[in-house]
């Protein structure tokens, strides 16, 4: 049974160890579904997630919020060694851009 509003993040990848496609869900990292075709793997993992969500609701458990519906501020802190910070500050000054813009550019590559 599929979820009415399924906004979870799915991925289908080849599993060399299993010689099948593996359907995965980012929000439920412990779940997977193996199948001979990518389409079957996606359908299988979506069905498993729907069953797990139904069971979690029945047991009043906290259901993971889909990544797609979460709100992000656009800010997060990254700690780097002082020499890396210095090197990036020099590169940003040479490029005539802020350190934030340089870091954002590098992270989005």
Q: What is the pLDDT of residues 25-56, one digit of tens each?
A: 999 999 999 999 999 999 999 999 999 999 99
Number of structural domains (the chain) is 2
Q: Is 97 helix (H, G, I), strand (E, B) or coil?
A: coil
Residues 39 and 86 reside in one and the same domain: no
Q: Do 26 and 61 belong together in one domain?
A: yes
What is the per-residue pLDDT across 2-11, written as a single tens digit (0 to 9) for each? 788 899 999 9
Domain that holds residue 76: 72-107
Q: Does any domain span residue 97?
A: yes
Residue 78 shares a structural domain with residue 62: no
Per-residue confidence (pLDDT) for residue 1, from 0 to 100:
66
Residues 60 and 103 in one domain: no
Verify that 64 and 80 share a domain, yes or no. Answer: no
The reply to whether 1 falls in a domain is: no
> Looking at residues 70-84, what average pLDDT do you find?
93
Q: Among residues 80, 78, 105, which one has the least CA distance to residue 92?
A: 105
Asked if residue 20 lies in contact with residue 37, where contact means CB atoms within 8 angstroms, the answer is: no
Same domain? 49 vs 77: no
34 plus 55 within the same structural domain? yes
């Amino acid at each position: 049974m599929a979820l009415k509003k399924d906004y979870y993040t799915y991925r289908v990848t080849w599993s060399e160890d299993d010689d099948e496609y593996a359907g995965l869900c980012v929000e439920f990292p412990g779940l997977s579904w193996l199948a001979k075709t990518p389409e079957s793997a996606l359908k299988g993992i979506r069905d498993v997630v729907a069953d797990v969500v139904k069971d979690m609701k029945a047991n009043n458990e906290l259901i993971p919020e889909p990544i797609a519906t979460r709100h992000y501020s656009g800010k997060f802190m990254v700690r780097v060694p002082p020499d890396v910070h210095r090197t990036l500050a020099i590169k940003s000054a040479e490029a005539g851009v802020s350190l934030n813009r340089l870091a954002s550019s590098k992270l989005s590559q």
